[in-house]
Structure 1
């Protein structure tokens, strides 16, 4: 792939063999889903790769070792599951609670995957199942790899798991035990006053109904998103109301007399669940400032980035009417 001649010859070979794919994929460290797609394509073109290497007089013993190939196909399936998790964590409007729930759900799925490997059914490992049907081998390594991954997930997200009650506060504040909330990280929030405000609002139907409506709206958005994703209507998903916006609107409607509740909720909502938005800004900067626009000043670049990442849609017609037209002499 790194040499143009070899690359052209390999693509010609794929064309001659009428392969499903016309080329391999290159790994891109910037893109989160790249590794899984590269592995999947490599495994799909494995026989063509071996044929091409043989024509060049190159030998790689691993490509003939069933144990190594078993691990390769296991990684193809496993990275596909990880890519599904990564996709769920990407995008704007993802609160820390939403991301934690996705991670906890994936930890439970790892238990299902480990059981699937232990039984040997391989229902959730299609590539590995197809490989094992042709090579009757049995390795305990794969099951242990899943167990190690479970342990790693448990250690990495243990602190978030302990704060799940705190992260749930903006959505379900009235159903939580105030004594379990962590207020140490949020300056300006008084634990005693917060408890009194929660006790005061609990029987005010006009405000309680807003949180009930919020829950119903979030459920409706999640339901619509699941249906659209099932039908691969990704553009329509972007037009759905953003969950974080619904939560912010609800809390903005709560009167300021419940100041500690609002500070606590908005403080929790401000927690960054991932670096996705930051990485998106850097990607936009690299796209804007290319070799064709190398002379952009910092102010111009800053303005371009702001226009690229904002959701604001200006009324161009109204703005144009505010300027006097240049009349010809």
Structure 2
């Protein structure tokens, strides 16, 4: 299972246009206009300095917009969030620069509402993205996070159907009369439906794996019928082992199954085979980031980076004092 990227919504449209309805053209157009606005202000050094001075004069919380890049997970969501926070400053700047077409489109109520909805949606996707990253997250946790997000999509859709936008904080505050127009409500509902369908397509076995891995999560609350026949007898021995049940309450999953591997090898191997799976590319990408940081232009002749990389990515802390104590500062003549 790969980690999601913050551009997940737009990639649905790019990869498979038929997977979403024509309503997504609205969100896609809003995203394109947002990118165009940021490029207009940030691409030129003069515009960038003038916008910074404007933000300083208005005592804004931020003084610059953010670029995005498709190879960084959270950049697009951060870019939209910063643009929405500085929407008043952007509107004034566009007016001062006589960009009437962009100003009118940006300040229209429909555009700001759609932008607020996109900001909220990308924030939710970014939050899921961060939860999927980390060194000590097993694939079972990944499945739980995805299933929780799918349930949230159903909750949000039911709330929007009732006219409740509390789950989208920016959109809720942007609605002046707290009332969704029927067409905009329909667009949001359809978009959430398609977003869930794309998640299910991206993770097709999300529910099947939950049932298959039930014995790993808690073998003492699992039926023998849910276990494959070749390990059922061994599973029953484990299930009625009171000592193992007490250990299960105190140990984490990996430690528990490793401890009982010599006693119940068949079922423990099945559990450990799942627990040792890589659920995301986080460790690989983290190693590449460390490599980029280590091999800078000042160390461009560094050829053998294995030692540096091993020290940087290892979770074992070196005993510096012990190593130093074993070294003689100056050899005797």
TM-score range for the pair, normalised by the shorter chain length: 0.7 to 0.9
TM-score by structure 1 length? Answer: 0.80
Verify the 8 A CA contact 2:219 2:239 in the aligned structure 1.
Answer: no
Structure 1 residue 98 and structure 2 residue 144: aligned?
no
Who is 1:69 aligned against? Answer: 112
Verify the 8 A CA contact 1:88 1:102 in the aligned structure 2.
Answer: yes
1:195 to 223, 226, 232: 232
Who is 1:278 aligned against? Answer: 284
Who is 2:68 aligned against? Answer: 27
Who is 2:208 aligned against? Answer: 162
Who is 1:188 aligned against? Answer: none
Who is 2:46 aligned against? Answer: 5
Verify the 8 A CA contact 2:132 2:142 in the aligned structure 1.
Answer: yes
Q: Cα 1:167–1:272, aligned 2, differ >3 Å: closer, same or farther?
A: farther
TM-score by structure 2 length? Answer: 0.79
Q: Cα 1:3–1:97, aligned 2, differ >3 Å: closer, same or farther?
A: same
What aligned pairs does 1:170-319 form with structure 2 within 5 A after superposition?
Answer: 170-181=216-227, 191-214=228-251, 246-297=252-303, 299=304, 301-319=305-323
Verify the 8 A CA contact 1:14 1:48 in the aligned structure 2.
Answer: yes
Q: How many residues align?
A: 287
Deviations 1:12-43 (A, max 9, x none): 11112222321112214343222222111101
Verify the 8 A CA contact 1:74 1:128 in the aligned structure 2.
Answer: yes
Who is 1:150 aligned against? Answer: 196
Verify the 8 A CA contact 1:166 1:268 in the aligned structure 2.
Answer: no
Who is 1:130 aligned against? Answer: 173
Q: Distance in 1 between matches of 2:64 and 2:292?
A: 26
Deviations 1:120-161 (A, max 9, x none): 231112211222217976122112111211222223223132
Deviations 1:168-196 (A, max 9, x none): 43331233345445xxxxxxxxx544112
Q: Distance in 2 between matches of 1:135 and 1:3?
A: 38
Who is 2:16 aligned against? Answer: none
Any idea what SS the aligned residue of 2:207 has? helix
Q: Which moves more between the two structures, 10-19 or 204-213?
A: 204-213
Q: Distance in 2 between matches of 1:155 and 1:52?
A: 42
What stretches of structure 2 of length at least 5 have no aligned partner? 1-41
Q: Distance in 2 between matches of 1:114 and 1:136?
A: 16
Q: Cα 1:198–1:9, aligned 2, differ >3 Å: closer, same or farther?
A: same
Q: Cα 1:169–1:302, aligned 2, differ >3 Å: closer, same or farther?
A: farther
What stretches of structure 1 of length at least 5 have no aligned partner? 182-190, 215-245
Verify the 8 A CA contact 1:165 1:176 in the aligned structure 2.
Answer: no
Q: Deviation of residue 87 (structure 1)? A: 1.9
Q: Cα 1:62–1:16, aligned 2, differ >3 Å: closer, same or farther?
A: same
Q: Which moves more between the two structures, 164-173 or 256-265?
A: 164-173
Deviations 1:34-72 (A, max 9, x none): 222211110111121122122223232531433232211
Whose relative contact order is higher, 1 or 2, with alpha carbons under 8 Å and at least 6 apart?
A: 2
Who is 2:125 aligned against? Answer: 82
Who is 1:326 aligned against? Answer: 330
